[in-house]
Structure 1
C-alpha cells in the first residue's frame, strides 16, 4: 500500500466522520443539552455504524474495481453525481427553525448505535466519499488490501470523532457552531462539489474510452 493510498483512505474516513450530517448535528445537540460525556457516548456507539457502512462501501468499491474498470467508472460517475447533488443542496440550504435531535440522555451509547446503523444516508454517502477520494488510485485496490482499508478508514473516523468530542462540550464552540451553522453547511457543500468534480474527472474519460 503506497503512502498516497494510505493517506487517501485515512482522509476518506476522517472526512466521512467529521462532515456535518445527521450524526454530527445530533452529537452537537446532545452535547449542548447533556454535556461532553453524553456526546462522547453517542459517538462511540455511532462509530459501530460507521465501521459497518464504510466497510460495506469499501467492499463495493474494491468489488467494482476487480470486476473491471468500466464497473468502477460507472460507480465513480454515480458517486460524483450524488455528491454534487448533496453539495448543491448544502450550498442552497436555508436556516431552519427546527432544533437538532438531542436523543435520550440516559442511554447515549445505545442511541448512537441505533442512530448509526439506521441512518439511510450512511451507505450512499460512504460509497460516494470513498470513491471520489480513491478514484485516482483505483488500480491499486485489491481484495487483499480490504482489511487494511477498513482499519485505516476506522482510524480516520476515530480521529474525526476525537476532535468532535473535544469541541462538543466547549460552550464557545457550541455557540460558534450554532451561530454559523448555515455557513459551515454551505462550505461543506462546496467541498462535496469538489469531491464530485474529482470523481467525474477520473471516471468519465474511462467510460468514453471504453465506448470508443
Structure 2
C-alpha cells in the first residue's frame, strides 16, 4: 500500500477544485451576501454556515457513492436539474418582486425575518438543491481518490473543504454586514435585487435547457 504522502497531490488538487468552485459567484455566495446586507451579520453567518454544511452533506453523499447512483440512473440527474432550476426560478421571482418595492425586502433573506436555525436551514437548502454543487463534488471526490486509496482520504477531503467553506461564507457575511455596506445596500437595494433576479432567471434557464 502507498504511503500517505503519495495521496497528497490528488487531495490538494481536489481541495483546489473546491476552493475555485466556492469563490465563484453562484446562488450560495449571493444568498450569503444578500442575507448579510439585508438581515444583518448574525443572519448572514448562520445562512453561510448552513451553506457550508449543505456542501458537507453533498460531500458525504458523494463519498458514499452518489456518483455511482447518478452514473447508473440518468433520471436521477434529470430530476435534480429540474428541481434546481425551479428553485432558481423561485429565487428570481422573489428578487424581482423585491426590486419593484420601495420598502426594504431582502430577497435573499427570505422575506420575513426568521430565527438562527431558520437561516441555517435556508442556507443548507440553497446548497443541497444546487445540482452544480453536486456535480462539483463528484469531480472533487474523483480528483482526490486514486485507485486503492484508503478509507480515510475521502473524509479528510470533506472535512478540509467543509472548514474552508465555513470560514469563507462567514467572512463574506461579516464583511457585507458592516454599516458602510448596509448603507450602500440600502441605496442600491432595488438595483441589486433586480440584478440578482436576472442572474437567477438566466441560471435557471441555462440549467433547465442544458444537456449535460
Q: What TM-score do the two structures reach when normalised by structure 1?
A: 0.62
Unaligned runs of 5+ in 1: 32-38, 105-110, 202-212
Q: Does 1:85 align with 2:86?
A: yes
Mapped partners of 2:159, 2:208: distance in 1? 22
1:135-187 deviations in Å (ceiling 9; x for gaps): 55664465632332343244245324423422332212442234331222221
Name the SS for the 1:133 alignment partner: helix
8 Å CA contact 2:88, 2:204 repeated in 1: yes
8 Å CA contact 2:62–2:137 kept in 1: the answer is no
Counterparts of 1:197 and 1:133 in 2: how far apart (Å)? 19
Q: 2:97 aligns to what SS in structure 1?
A: coil
Residues of 1 paired with 2:154 and 2:161: CA distance?
Answer: 11
What's 1:69 paired with? 71
| 1:180 equivalenced with 2:192 (yes/no) | yes
Structure 2: 5+ residue stretches without partners? 1-9, 146-150
1:92-171 equivalence runs, <5 A: 94-96=96-98, 97=101, 99-100=105-106, 101=111, 103=113, 111-117=115-121, 121-122=125-126, 124-126=128-130, 128-135=131-138, 139-140=142-143, 144-169=153-178, 170=181, 171=183
Q: Check 1:25–1:68 CA distance in 2 against 1; reply closer, same or farther (3 A cut).
A: closer
Q: Distance in 2 between matches of 1:166 and 1:50?
A: 17
Figure out how many residues of one structure are paired with residues of the other and give that number.
Answer: 182
- Answer whether contact 2:14 2:157 (CA < 8 A) is retained: no
Can you list the C-alpha shifts for 1:92-129, whole angstroms capped at 9, x where unaligned? 6642447234748xxxxxx3344203668346425x23
Q: 1 CA distance for matches of 2:159 and 2:19?
A: 10
Q: Is the 8 A contact 2:89 2:201 kept in 1?
A: yes
Is the 2:47–2:120 Cα contact (8 Å) retained in structure 1? yes
TM-score normalized with structure 2 length: 0.62
| 2:45–2:173 contact (8 Å) kept in structure 1 | no
